[in-house]
Amino acid sequence: MDDDEPILGQMTDAVSTAATATADAAKTMVKKAKKAAKKVAKKVTPKKAKEAKKAKKASRKSSAKKSAKKSKKAAKKGARKRKKAKKSKR
């Protein structure tokens, strides 16, 4: 402590310095927390996106397979109906 400066002035300087240091520490902690959150988000979101893509592809494939099977069945049914119609005409 300086003897030239009044005690009140010294105390206000000390308190303001402590407050500034605390604010700086809080800012750095917030920055670190944001960085960590971004890292976690990067790790988590791609997995979800990949799973969603896989699910979409699977649903597309299964629907395509189903429609192909239906068209084959419909073609077979049409051929059967034509044969039956020809037989009934005889």
pLDDT digits (tens, 9 = 90+) for 16-58: 999 999 999 999 999 999 999 998 888 877 666 666 666 666 6
pLDDT value at residue 1? 55
- What is the percentage of the chain residues whose pLDDT exceeds 70? 46
Both tokens of 36, joined, read 């960590």
pLDDT value at residue 6? 87
Q: Higher pLDDT residue, 44 or 80?
A: 44
Domain ranges of the chain: 1-90
- Closest of 41, 42, 65, 61 to residue 53, by C-alpha: 61
Q: For all residues of the chain together, what is the average pLDDT?
A: 76
Whole-number CA gyration radius for the chain: 38
